[in-house]
Amino acid sequence: MSAHEPLCRVTGLVKEFPSPRRSLFGRGPAFRAVDDVSLQVDSGETLAIVGESGSGKSTTARLVARLMEPTAGTIEFDGVDVTKLKSRQLHAFRGGVQVIFQDPFSSLNPRLTVEQLITGPLIYQKRKIPGGARAFTRQLMERVGLNPDHSDRRPAQFSGGQAQRIGIARALAVSPRLVICDEAVSALDVSVQAQVINLLRDLQSEEGFGYLFIAHDLAVVRQIATRVAVMTQGRVVETGDRDEVFGNPKHQYTRTLLRALPRINPEWDARRRAAEQARTETEQNGAGAR
């Protein structure tokens, strides 16, 4: 990958689902959940995709991870279009891209121990487990803030925050280049959210991987994002640096989302109000001139 090549580049991504409605003339038009989405993620940065429920952000994440097949568009990872990969190549690709899901208890097999859950991806990838399964598991558990002595326990024996840390350790096991966080902290208590966000940032600082961070909570996005993409009705309507999007949003939908926040950082809030006032005055002056 060249110095200017992004880690992951998505271009013109489309996902259509058949219409559930039937009539005498057949099915209705297909529903387009993702409509011409283009974005990119660089190593060491966090691109957050935000929007209301049903905006298409989680579908986009699943398409990037190749958990779903796109209808159209390209997904390049390290310069390779992964939409064209066959089974063996796709197997290797999944070692470089890992997903942390919203509900750890749904994504972790309740019958497996923590050791089996963490070492499972390495076994699936047919990789050697450094230092043996027990030592490798204990090292990763300690790294994500879990007690290594609990490696023989099962997910139900942990709290929600601890179970999510197991999911993070499992994602890290194969040393991914891109980690997709699909609402990874939305099901956690606020205090636990902060702990997990700090952990994610620390791990990124150490490893240098990129995050594609899916969220609807702008307060969380403000803490972790480098750049922000705003989605609604399957389309990206605004993309920019975090401070730019929060301080001077360009699209009306973004401004609506920000106004829904109970409290915004005072500096960003002042910048946003000043920018909106200047925009209003410009529009009024333009109308007066006509």
CATH number at residue 243: 3.40.50.300
Structural domain includes residue 245: yes
Residue 2 has what pLDDT? 45
* Region label for 169, one of left (φ > 0), alpha (ψ between -120 and 50) or beta (otherwise): alpha
Q: 22-23 and 26-27 as β-strands: parallel, antiparallel, unpaired?
A: antiparallel
Q: Tens digits of per-residue pLDDT, 133-142?
A: 999 999 999 9
The domain tally of the chain equals: 1
Structural domain includes residue 65: yes
Structural domain includes residue 197: no
Q: Is 186 exposed, middle or buried (0-12, 13-18, 19+ CB in 10 A)?
A: middle
Amino acid, res. 231: M
Residue 266 has what pLDDT? 60
Structural domain includes residue 107: no
Q: What is the mean pLDDT of residues 5-12?
A: 94
Q: Tokens 């489309």 identify what position?
A: 14
Cβ-based neighbour number of residue 154 at 10 Å:
17
Structural domain includes residue 10: yes
Q: Tens digits of per-residue pLDDT, 35-66?
A: 999 999 999 999 999 999 899 999 999 999 99
Q: What is the mean pLDDT of residues 99-125?
A: 92
The residue ranking higher by pLDDT, 121 or 229, is 229
Structural domain includes residue 232: yes
Residue 273 has what pLDDT? 65
* Domain span including residue 89: 1-20+28-96+210-285
Structural domain includes residue 77: yes
Tokens of 4: 């200017």
Structural domain includes residue 237: yes
- CB of 221 closer than 8 Å to CB of 212: no
Share of the chain above pLDDT 70, in %: 87
Q: Mean pLDDT in the chain?
A: 88
Q: Tens digits of per-residue pLDDT, 244-288?
A: 999 999 999 999 988 877 654 566 666 666 766 776 666 666 655
